[in-house]
Amino acid sequence: MNKEKFFQQNKLKTKNFKLNSGDNVELQELTAGQRGELQSIITKDHTRAQAQMITMSCPLFDKNDVDRILTMSGLLIERMANMIIELSGFGESAVEDAKKK
């Protein structure tokens, strides 16, 4: 295998998240760089980290939407964040910790 073939394997997983309205939004697995970025802030402000995670994972949003996402239902944001955590392959303990917070 050469380097180009290796980097062609970079197909991030996606999953549809169903909103209460019945509409779906697509969420995408986080990249290694995005996971690292989140880990540096998650202990400082867990809720803001969840909102940032959504902006990283959902093509509808960009980093300028964090404050607006924070005005949404906490349950909705938590459910979306939990799906992103699972989709991104965080360890079982990370998923359980995220659900507790």
pTM over 0.85: no
Pairing of strands 14-18, 24-28: antiparallel
The token pair at 9 is 């394997």
97 pLDDT tier (thresholds 50, 70, 90): low
Check whether 94 has a pLDDT greater than 60.
Answer: no
The token pair at 45 is 């402000």
Question: What is the rounded distance in angstroms from the CA atom of residue 28 to the CA atom of residue 56?
Answer: 8
Residue 17 CB neighbours (<10 A): 18
| Segment 21-47, tens digit of pLDDT | 999 999 999 998 998 888 877 778 889
